[in-house]
Chain A
Amino acid sequence: MSITVENISKSYGAFRALKGVSLEVPDARITALLGPSGSGKTTLLRIIAGLEAPDEGSGPIRFHQEDVAGRRVQERRVGFVFQHYALFKHMTVFENVAFGLRVRPKHERPERAVIDRKVHDLLQLVQLDGMAHRYPSQLSGGQRQRVALARALAVEPRVLLLDEPFGALDARVRKQLRVWLRRLHDEIAITSLFVTHDQDEALEVADRVVVMNEGRIEQAGSPEEVFHDPATEFVMNFLGHVNVFDGRIEDGKVTFASVQVEHPDAAHLHAGPTRVFIRPHELSLHLLPRSDSLPARVTGIHAAGPAVRLTLATEAGLVFSADVSQDVYRSLKVAVGGRFWVQPRDLRVFPGIADQTRD
């Protein structure tokens, strides 16, 4: 493991930003810290970088087994990329990238020619070779972020930390840049940890996703794991759209609305009220009733996309979404006001009613 932190806590006055977080970041992979604002993800990143100090009693912060918790930020050799680039505005692109090499003490400072070559290699890597003499104000947002990345890489960091690296960019550039970052990483394979609140970004770019909420880690795993096998209600809710129904567990069966479904999750759970989570794509539409289906009326259609998102309402006023393919949408002749039987193909229930996750 390239970065390991144990039991890190951080309070700002009465607010506890991190509550004893332990984390392992695998070598040469991209890991995403995903969570809503206020979940503590940026605080954790800044503590790893050495830009913030954890509370007394926190555990070690290790880079490749070496405890760096007592080290100053300058000595940790991290590459840090800020959301708003933090480029030095009075320096050219070249000077920005060369900064980390030029501020080294004389006996460690590379020769001029070495710096020159290195900066140009890096600018080539981030595809900005022709821009060396421009100032940051003459670059687009995406270009600036690439300069920031080149600048961070120039000091040959042991780990690369990125704080919402695409957060300040518009949607199209953001998508391009994250594909590009993924490809760049495949080329240079540096241990990277990036913070994001955008689940698509985390799932697309990262090899490993760590979902955070209210100063704790909810789940860590591959993108597939956290998406298809969420460990908590929060992760279920946060990753992708989900319908939430109030239901009950009885005799190993899940009951909600007018439906009763046998479900393996329910078998080992205590009887009582629960919340039932069903993703829109886990619902099927039928013209005729099935054993475990409920009747609903179409109240809204959003057809501009790879799938068609339908909004449905039951007689009792329960509103939920279902995704159907464009083919099904056409063959069933779905229209607003149309009545269908909706059948869940899959659903999830979680132990206990934790009431912090619904928003």
Chain B
Amino acid sequence: MGLRPSTAEPRWVRLLLVSVTLLFLGAFLVTPLVAVFVEAFRKGLGAYLASFADPAVLSAIRLTLLAAGIAVPVNLVFGLAAAWAVAKFEFPGKSLLTTLIDLPLAVSPVVSGLIYVLVFGLHGWLGPWLQAHDLQVIFAVPGIVLATVFVTVPFVARELIPLMQEQGTEDEESALTLGASGWQTFRRVTLPNVRWALLYGVILCNARAMGEFGAVSVVSGHIRGKTNTVPLQVEILYNEYNFVAAFAVASLLAMLALVTLAAKTLVEWRVAAAPASIFAAGEKP
């Protein structure tokens, strides 16, 4: 055996660290993931596929897609606007805004849901007015969308703010001196500068929007075939001892997680491979 560099740990330390890590990951992450698929396919592919013929399941999938389909674009626009405001302007209450953006991460999702019940519910602040106009928010689709938007607020903004702050405003100023309009500057300079961070934020935002349970559970009312999202449907099926269907539907969420991880890795790899796109600003002192 050759001499080891003075900074390297002894072999047994390395082995120990690596095996502890792998064991931990295996026990807490890989095993449950595998279990989901094992349980889902326990009675064969036919039973697995049959789970998705249930109209209630199809409705849950549609509702989840709808909620994410609204929450992600809304937060994309909001995230860009908020990051732009925080990174490029000085205004009173700026630090309060950045703190507020993190609020949905800090507060329990159940509380988020309850806030909406308090505001829009039958006995809530806007309840009587909504009822008078025959509008239902709580225990209906609008409530689910609102709750989903709320819990996914931080994801895009948080990815963009540090990057845009680091990039500063010189690129934009440069474009303006060259005669570009505000919109041209945004589209041709600002957006390309943040495109990977934006995509990253959207991926995380989407994963959360589709997987959200707590807040949505409070405002949903669990009306089968109407106000159940995929995670809520999984719970219902499980509580009814319909394990194959529960795990089959859960496998959708597990696959979403895998796709998200893959996309996230791909974006991270793309960012690392293209220092030009993001890290060239790192040359500044």
Contacts and interface: CB of A to CB of B under 8 A. Distances in A.
A and B associate in one complex? yes
B228 interface: no
Interface stretch (B188-196, B207-215, B247-255): B188-196
A136 B276 contact: yes
A89 B180 CA distance: 17
A171 to B, nearest CB: 15
Interface in A194-250: none
A180 interface: no
A84 B283 contact: yes
A103 B179 contact: yes
A152 interface: yes
Interface residues of B, number: 24
B280 A103 contact: no
Given A84-B284, A90-B193, A155 B173 contact: no
A39 to B, nearest CB: 20
Contact of B170 (A76, A84, A103): A84
B125 to A, nearest CB: 40
B280 A79 contact: no
Interface in A64-114: 73-74, 76-80, 82, 84, 86, 88-90, 99-100, 103-104
A51 interface: yes
Contacts, number: 77
B110 interface: no
A357 interface: no
Contact of A155 (B179, B193, B280, B283): B179
Interface string B163-184: 0000000110111111111001
A90 B276 contact: yes
A151 interface: yes
Contacts of A78: 177
Interface in A125-154: 135-138, 151-152, 154
Given A82-B170, A86-B170, A88-B189, A152 B180 contact: no
Given A82-B170, A136-B276, A137-B276, A74 B283 contact: no
Interface residues of A, number: 29
B179 to A, nearest CB: 5
Interface string B147-177: 0000000000000000000000011011111
Contacts of A154: 178
Contacts of A8: none
Nearest to B171: A86
B175 A99 contact: yes
A151 B177 CA distance: 11
B170 A151 contact: no
B271 to A, nearest CB: 12
B260 interface: no
A135 B276 contact: yes
B273 to A, nearest CB: 12
A82 B174 contact: yes
Given A89-B193, A137-B280, A103 B174 contact: no
A84 B280 CA distance: 11
Contact of A104 (B175, B179, B189): B179
Contacts of B178: 99-100, 103, 151-152, 154-155
Contacts of A155: 178-179
A86 B171 CA distance: 5
B59 interface: no
A49 interface: yes
A197 to B, nearest CB: 14
A226 B180 CA distance: 39
Contacts of A73: 173, 176-177
A79 B177 contact: yes
Contacts of A138: 276
A74 B170 contact: no
A4 to B, nearest CB: 20
A137 B280 CA distance: 7
The 9 closest A-B pairs by CB, nearest first: A100-B178, A137-B276, A86-B170, A86-B174, A80-B177, A103-B180, A90-B192, A89-B280, A73-B176
Given A51-B177, A73-B173, A103-B188, 7 more contacts: A74-B176, A74-B177, A74-B179, A82-B173, A103-B180, A136-B280, A168-B285
